[in-house]
């Protein structure tokens, strides 16, 4: 015998039926672990700030001004709503295994269309009408931006991942170009002249939150209870099966991708009309990519995605205020904590799906066998 | 008794909660052919994968020539002179047979020895100018040793002559008739299998394991393979053949180990056992091995296929001028080597292959409908009762990630007005199928991909029959199923036939086709080689039709262009 090979120490096997309580325990542990990890990083940057991080994290939900006690909470929810809206827009496309990475561009085009119309619509027009026109234009803008890759995918089977990704840069270029023409001194277009969304109860952003909340339920129902939702999940599972079942695959692909782009355009409208009141090439702020992660980590379940989106917004705002307080407003710091948060969620997913065994007994046996020789 | 060359003691392998191999003891003697018999999923292949080092056992020990062996990879297995031919061949399509066999050979380059060789050359050289030249050469060669090593490691020597000589010698010893310079992609299945066997022998295997070697071969090829195996046995090799076919066990093996549900049931000497007893051990109870074949009553024309032609998107001519009729009340078998166009034929009729041309008339009690150039949804909307159980169950017939109810409504979901799905009826139908076919599932909302192969097929067949078809097309409906479910499916097909349905059955087991069908279409590289009466023909006749070639493969390629 040349050499007795040891059995591997770690043995990973797939878990099939995980009980519900264990799932909840693992997920809660994941989130707590993520916060602790972030806090540890904080102490690394500045010694002794371990608990300050938690203070800032939860403090970001509580408003300091007495007149508007919900201000901070609504700000967090608003950030969550935008992220969630984009990931919900991506959801039908992802369910169809159409990897739409162009949310950033679709959102931008939606927002740009809204802002551009606001610039050209006459001021005499009633605000409600202007709002509706802007909304329709935004939805159309987003839809067109995803229609192109979808048509190529359906007819020529091109790779939608690369196509949609490149469309982001085209969108940014288009917007930068128009800003140069219309407003050369600034990096953004002028503030909206009409079509802003009104405040509700003295708070802005409330409409954004309401729209996205409705969208969560609508998307859940669309995917689960409609023929469209059924068709797109069959097309996603296997195009052969779809053809066998008599589904017109190319029309499903185009329809779903356009829906995805249109909803991205809707979010773009929310950003411009409901929050920023203007548009620049950075209006989407990377949310189009964060939305992809949220959809994946939320297991393509709208409600779980909402939870993840909330935590992302929560961690972002918490660590921003920590950065302002301790790190001189370092804007890279929230990015680090978000990355850690995503990483922790991924690790949690691993333990939800796999079990790690340690082969102690066999190792001992192998050692005993060696000694015998 | 002769000595044991390979011994497994108390071997166990688990996958999650499934125990694939459950405390199995197994002994292979020198110079014998041993069959491992068992149903699909009984752990035959898993057991042999442990011997070949693909799986590592959770418990138990492997002994080779009486000594304990740790086999953690196929490379280790070759160190112990064990070679395995898998059911799905592991060959590189674009390489020639020789390259495939030489692939993965360890380079035997040694710095020390090469240096010594160069030094000897130098010291043996003559004096004077030549010696200076030799010294120069010696220095150059020494400096370039690392490059020589690299070249050797990368096998940078494709032009080396007679590199296949030793391989050809092995092939000749055992009487393999094969051109080893042919590319794998140009080879037939049987030739590929031969290459795999030669590969194992070239690497010095004394123990050869064959996983279901006959599944893809014609009767003639099987006979040739068995002849070679017997020759190898005479040459002192030990052979394990995994199979679930009883007549092959009787024909070739000396002993047979029967497995069921991961457990080793018994090992018996083949001569002392009969088929009935073996089946009983394999299935765990006595079962009737007769396939019911009802007489054809009042045949009515159901399907008339005329001049059906299909060229796929890569330009390969898959179906060539197919003509046949299908009658209600008969089972029409379709036989042929795998990939002779059986799949394309059924899919063309079902409307899945859009490029198919020709005519396919569907007769439905007075109504005559042309099926060609129509999508499955158009065919369905015209009220044509055409059911199709495709070969690829979870890749075409069903969606593995959806639940049972969603799969049952896959072909009928678009019925009913409005954009919402109507799940009530499919739910009832699913419950009915589960009850009728005794489907083992936790509920009708279980993900179908989590069911076993037999239960998946029951749902698929159940759904297709539920639409009360006039024509039922099935492709390999019992592939991968246990014996009980297989016979259940045969009975269902016969029952449909007695109801006046025209049944088409693409099969791979000729014994079954001969016992179940009324007529058999034999396909051969895309055309109909003959239509025979299943009651009077023989396996040999069908085998000949399957392989007889009037045109060479090169011609079909030229045609494709």
Rounded to an integer, what distance in angstroms lies between the CA atom of residue A181 and that of residue A186?
11
B366 pLDDT higher than 80? no
What confidence tens digit (pLDDT) does each residue in B414-461 have? 887 888 999 999 999 999 999 999 898 888 999 998 888 889 999 999
- Nearest Cα of chain B lies from the Cα of A369 at a distance, in angstroms, of 11
What confidence tens digit (pLDDT) does each residue in B86-144 have? 888 888 988 888 888 887 666 667 778 888 888 888 888 777 888 888 888 888 888 88
The count of CB pairs under 8 A between chains A and B is 81
Among B76, B351, B376, the residue to mutate for chain A (most A Cβ within 10 A): B376
Q: What is the DSSP letter of B194?
A: H
Picking from A4, A226, A230, the nearest residue to B406 by CB comes out as A230
* Spacing of C-alpha B333 from chain mean position: 19
Is residue B285 classed exposed, middle or buried when 0-12, 13-18 and 19+ CB atoms within 10 A define those classes?
exposed
Contact criterion met (CB < 8 Å) for B380 and A246: yes
Q: Are the C-beta atoms of B441 and B451 separated by less than 8 Å?
A: yes
User: Which chain B residues have a beta carbon less than 8 Å from that of A229?
Assistant: 421
Q: CB of B426 within 8 Å of any CB in chain A?
A: no
- Nearest Cα of chain B lies from the Cα of A214 at a distance, in angstroms, of 19
What confidence tens digit (pLDDT) does each residue in A205-242 have? 899 999 999 999 999 999 999 999 999 999 999 999 99
User: Which chain A residues have a beta carbon less than 8 Å from that of B396?
Assistant: 238, 240-241, 244
* Spacing of C-alpha B66 from chain mean position: 34
Is residue A290 classed exposed, middle or buried when 0-12, 13-18 and 19+ CB atoms within 10 A define those classes?
buried
Q: CB of B382 within 8 Å of any CB in chain A?
A: no
Bridge partners (DSSP) of residue B243 are B37
- Nearest Cα of chain A lies from the Cα of B377 at a distance, in angstroms, of 4
Rounded to an integer, what distance in angstroms lies between the CA atom of residue B463 and that of residue B461?
5
Of A89-98, A151-160, B166-175, B282-291, the poorest mean pLDDT is in B282-291
* pLDDT value, residue B489: 93
* pLDDT value, residue A365: 52
- Nearest Cα of chain A lies from the Cα of B58 at a distance, in angstroms, of 9
CA atoms in the 13 A half-sphere facing the CB of B252: 31
* pLDDT value, residue A1: 36
pTM tops 0.90, yes or no? no
φ and ψ at residue B10, rounded to 5 degrees: 55, 40
Of all residues in chain A, the one with the smallest CA distance to B393 is A241
Token pair listed for B237: 């090799």
Q: How many Cβ atoms sit within 10 Å of the Cβ of residue A132?
A: 12
Among B395, B416, B467, the residue to mutate for chain A (most A Cβ within 10 A): B395
Is residue A371 classed exposed, middle or buried when 0-12, 13-18 and 19+ CB atoms within 10 A define those classes?
exposed
- Averaged pLDDT for residues A264-282: 91
What confidence tens digit (pLDDT) does each residue in B313-327 have? 888 899 999 999 999
Q: CB of A360 within 8 Å of any CB in chain B?
A: no
Q: Are the C-beta atoms of B50 and B21 separated by less than 8 Å?
A: yes
Contact criterion met (CB < 8 Å) for B377 and A230: no
What confidence tens digit (pLDDT) does each residue in B224-279 have? 899 999 989 998 899 999 988 888 888 899 999 999 888 999 899 998 888 888 88
Contact criterion met (CB < 8 Å) for B421 and A225: yes
Q: What is the DSSP letter of A126?
A: -
Picking from B17, B396, B413, the nearest residue to A244 by CB comes out as B396
Q: CB of A182 within 8 Å of any CB in chain B?
A: no
Of chain A, the percentage scoring pLDDT greater than 70 comes to 93
φ and ψ at residue A38, rounded to 5 degrees: -60, -45
Q: Are the C-beta atoms of A273 and A115 separated by less than 8 Å?
A: no
Contact criterion met (CB < 8 Å) for B56 and A247: no
Q: CB of B361 within 8 Å of any CB in chain A?
A: no
Question: What pLDDT band is residue B560 in, cutting at 50, 70 and 90?
Answer: very low
* pLDDT value, residue B549: 66
User: Which chain A residues have a beta carbon less than 8 Å from that of B412?
Assistant: none
Contact criterion met (CB < 8 Å) for A227 and B375: no
* pLDDT value, residue B559: 40
Interacting residues of A295 by C-beta distance below 8 A, sequence separation 6+: A87, A88, A90, A91, A94, A305
* pLDDT value, residue B461: 95
Q: Are the C-beta atoms of B70 and B64 separated by less than 8 Å?
A: no
Tell which residue, B210, B200, B206, has the closest CA to residue B243. Answer: B210
Q: CB of A248 within 8 Å of any CB in chain B?
A: yes
Question: What pLDDT band is residue A159 in, cutting at 50, 70 and 90?
Answer: very high
Question: What pLDDT band is residue B550 in, cutting at 50, 70 and 90?
Answer: low
- Greater confidence, B165 or A155? A155
* pLDDT value, residue B434: 94
Q: CB of A228 within 8 Å of any CB in chain B?
A: yes
Question: What pLDDT band is residue A324 in, cutting at 50, 70 and 90?
Answer: confident
Picking from A8, A233, A244, the nearest residue to B352 by CB comes out as A244
Contact criterion met (CB < 8 Å) for A14 and B419: no
Question: What pLDDT band is residue A329 in, cutting at 50, 70 and 90?
Answer: confident
- Nearest Cα of chain B lies from the Cα of A292 at a distance, in angstroms, of 21
Q: How many Cβ atoms sit within 10 Å of the Cβ of residue A365?
A: 12
Pairing of strands B67-69, B59-64: antiparallel
- Nearest Cα of chain B lies from the Cα of A371 at a distance, in angstroms, of 15
Tell which residue, B259, B299, B303, B306, has the closest CA to residue B283. Answer: B259
Mean pLDDT of chain B: 87
What confidence tens digit (pLDDT) does each residue in A61-107 have? 888 777 888 888 999 999 999 999 999 999 999 999 999 999 999 99
Please state, in angstroms and as integers, the Cα–Cα distance from residue A212 to each residue in A96, A205, A265, A284, A305, following that order.
Answer: 22, 11, 13, 16, 12
Bridge partners (DSSP) of residue B327 are B301
B552 pLDDT higher than 50? no
What confidence tens digit (pLDDT) does each residue in B151-202 have? 776 665 555 656 778 888 888 888 888 888 888 888 888 889 999 999 988 8
Contact criterion met (CB < 8 Å) for B399 and A14: no
């Amino acid at each position: 015998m040349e050499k007795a090979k040891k059995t591997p120490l770690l043995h990973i096997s797939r878990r099939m039926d995980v009980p519900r309580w264990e799932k909840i325990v693992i997920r809660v542990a994941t989130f707590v672990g993520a916060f602790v990890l972030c806090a540890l990083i904080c102490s690394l940057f500045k010694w002794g700030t371990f608990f300050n991080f938690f203070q800032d994290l939860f403090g970001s939900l509580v408003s300091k001004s007495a007149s508007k006690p919900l201000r901070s909470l609504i700000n967090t929810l608003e950030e969550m709503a935008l992220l969630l809206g984009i990931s919900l827009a991506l959801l039908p496309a992802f369910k169809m295994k159409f990897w739409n990475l162009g949310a950033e561009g679709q959102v931008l085009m939606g927002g740009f269309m809204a802002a551009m119309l606001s610039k050209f619509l006459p001021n005499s027009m009633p605000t409600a009408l202007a709002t509706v026109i802007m909304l329709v234009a935004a939805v159309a803008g987003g839809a067109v931006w995803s229609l192109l890759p979808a048509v190529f995918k359906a007819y020529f089977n091109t790779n939608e991942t690369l196509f949609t990704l490149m469309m982001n840069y085209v969108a940014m270029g288009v917007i930068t170009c128009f800003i140069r023409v219309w407003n050369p001194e600034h990096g953004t277009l002028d503030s909206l002249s009409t079509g802003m969304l009104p405040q509700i109860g003295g708070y802005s952003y409330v409409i954004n939150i309401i729209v996205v909340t409705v969208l969560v339920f609508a998307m859940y129902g669309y995917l689960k209870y409609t023929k469209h939702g059924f068709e797109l999940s069959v097309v996603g599972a296997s195009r052969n099966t779809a053809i066998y079942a008599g589904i017109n695959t190319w029309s499903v692909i185009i329809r779903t991708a356009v829906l995805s782009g249109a909803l991205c355009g809707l979010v773009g409208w929310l950003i411009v009309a409901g929050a920023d009141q203007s548009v620049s090439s950075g209006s989407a702020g990377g949310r189009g990519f964060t939305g992809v992660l949220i959809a994946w980590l939320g297991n393509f379940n709208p409600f779980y995605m909402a939870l993840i989106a909330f935590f992302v917004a929560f961690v972002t705002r918490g660590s921003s205020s920590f950065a302002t307080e301790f790190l001189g407003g370092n804007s890279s710091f929230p990015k680090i904590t978000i990355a850690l948060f995503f990483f922790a969620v991924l690790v949690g997913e691993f333990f939800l799906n796999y079990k790690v065994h340690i082969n102690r007994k066999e190792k001992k046996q192998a050692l005993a066998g060696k000694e015998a020789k | 008794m002769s000595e044991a060359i390979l011994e497994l003691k108390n071997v166990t392998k688990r996958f999650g909660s499934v125990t694939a191999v459950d405390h199995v003891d197994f002994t292979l003697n020198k110079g014998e052919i041993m069959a491992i018999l068992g149903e699909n999923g009984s752990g035959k292949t898993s057991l042999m994968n442990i011997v070949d080092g693909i799986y590592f056992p959770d418990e138990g020990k492997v002994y080779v020539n009486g000594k304990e062996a740790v086999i953690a990879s196929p490379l280790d297995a070759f160190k112990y002179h064990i070679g395995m031919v898998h059911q799905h061949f592991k060959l590189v399509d674009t390489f020639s047979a020789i390259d495939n066999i030489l692939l993965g050979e360890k380079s035997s380059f040694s710095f020390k020895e090469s240096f010594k060789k160069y030094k000897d050359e130098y010291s043996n050289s003559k004096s004077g100018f030549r010696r200076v030249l030799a010294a120069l050469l010696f220095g150059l060669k020494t400096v370039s040793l690392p490059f020589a090593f690299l070249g050797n490691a990368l096998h940078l020597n494709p032009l080396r002559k007679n590199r296949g000589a030793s391989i050809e010698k092995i092939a000749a010893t055992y009487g393999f008739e094969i051109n080893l310079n042919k590319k794998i992609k140009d080879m037939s299945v049987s030739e590929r299998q031969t290459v795999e066997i030669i590969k194992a022998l070239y690497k010095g295997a004394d123990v050869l394991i064959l996983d279901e070697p006959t599944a893809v071969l014609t009767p003639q090829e099987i006979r040739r393979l068995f002849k070679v195996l017997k020759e190898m046995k005479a040459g002192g090799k030990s052979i394990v053949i995994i199979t679930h076919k009883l007549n092959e066990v009787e024909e070739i093996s000396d002993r047979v180990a029967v497995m069921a549900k991961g457990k080793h049931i018994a090992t018996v000497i083949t001569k002392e056992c009969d088929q009935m007893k073996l089946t009983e051990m394999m299935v765990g109870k006595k079962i009737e091995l007769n396939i019911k074949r009802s007489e054809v009553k009042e045949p009515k024309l159901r399907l008339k296929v005329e001049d059906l032609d299909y060229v796929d998107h890569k330009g390969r001519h898959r179906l060539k001028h197919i003509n046949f009729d299908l009658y209600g009340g008969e089972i029409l078998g379709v036989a042929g080597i795998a990939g002779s166009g059986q799949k394309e034929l059924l899919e063309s009729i079902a409307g899945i292959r859009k490029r198919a041309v020709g005519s396919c008339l569907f007769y439905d009690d007075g109504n005559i409908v042309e099926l060609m150039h129509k999508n499955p949804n158009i065919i369905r909307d015209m009220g044509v009762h055409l059911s199709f159980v495709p070969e690829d169950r979870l890749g075409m017939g069903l969606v593995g990630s959806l639940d049972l109810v969603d799969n049952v409504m896959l072909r009928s979901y678009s019925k009913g007005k409005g954009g919402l799905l109507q799940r009530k009826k499919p739910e009832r139908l699913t419950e009915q199928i589960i009850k009728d076919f005794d489907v083992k599932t936790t509920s009708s909302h279980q993900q179908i991909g989590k069911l076993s192969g037999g239960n998946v097929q029951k749902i698929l067949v159940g759904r297709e029959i539920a639409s009360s078809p006039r024509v039922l097309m099935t492709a390999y409906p019992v592939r991968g199923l246990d014996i009980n479910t297989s016979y259940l499916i045969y009975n269902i097909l016969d029952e449909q036939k007695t109801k006046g349905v025209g049944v088409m059955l693409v099969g791979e087991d000729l014994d079954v086709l001969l016992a179940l069908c009324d007529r058999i279409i034999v396909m051969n590289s895309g055309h109909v080689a003959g239509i025979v009466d299943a009651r009077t023909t023989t396996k040999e006749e069908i085998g000949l039709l399957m392989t007889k070639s009037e045109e060479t493969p090169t011609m079909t390629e030229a045609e494709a262009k």
